[in-house]
Amino acid sequence: MANYYCEYCGTKYSSVTLLTGSSCHRHPNGPNKGKHKLYEGSEKRTYTCKYCGTPYSSLTLLTGSACYRHPNGPTKGKHAPAL
Ligand SMILES: [Zn+2]
Ligand SMILES: [Zn+2]
């Protein structure tokens, strides 16, 4: 069975319906200010930040760390996964 991950926080769901229907604690507008967003890339052993290239072993770790090359300014936001 396929797993679906949130692009903002890395939370895993068994269906897209469940994922997009739940509030995201790492939503860019603020904690629980919006729903999870489907990560459209494939499951990987290593996820890379699309802004700075830092590799992480999980989406949860990647999206939980501040990015020093974030478009809003250094460490003004979290890493975002490349597809
Ligand atoms: Zn989320
Ligand atoms: Zn980054």
User: From the CA of 29, how far away is ligand 2's center (Å)?
Assistant: 18
Bridge partner list, 4: 13
The protein residues having their C-beta less than 5 angstroms from ligand 1 (an ion) are: 6, 8-9, 24, 36
| pLDDT at position 59 | 97
Inform me whether the pLDDT recorded for 1 exceeds 80: no
Sign of CA dihedral 58, 60, 61, 63: positive
pLDDT, mean of residues 35-42: 96
| pLDDT at position 15 | 97
pLDDT, mean of residues 15-43: 96
| pLDDT at position 6 | 98
Report whether 36 contacts 9 (CB < 8 A): yes
User: From the CA of 38, how far away is ligand 1's center (Å)?
Assistant: 8
| pLDDT at position 2 | 86
Contacts of 62 (CB under 8 A, 6+ apart): 10, 47, 49, 54, 56, 78, 79, 81
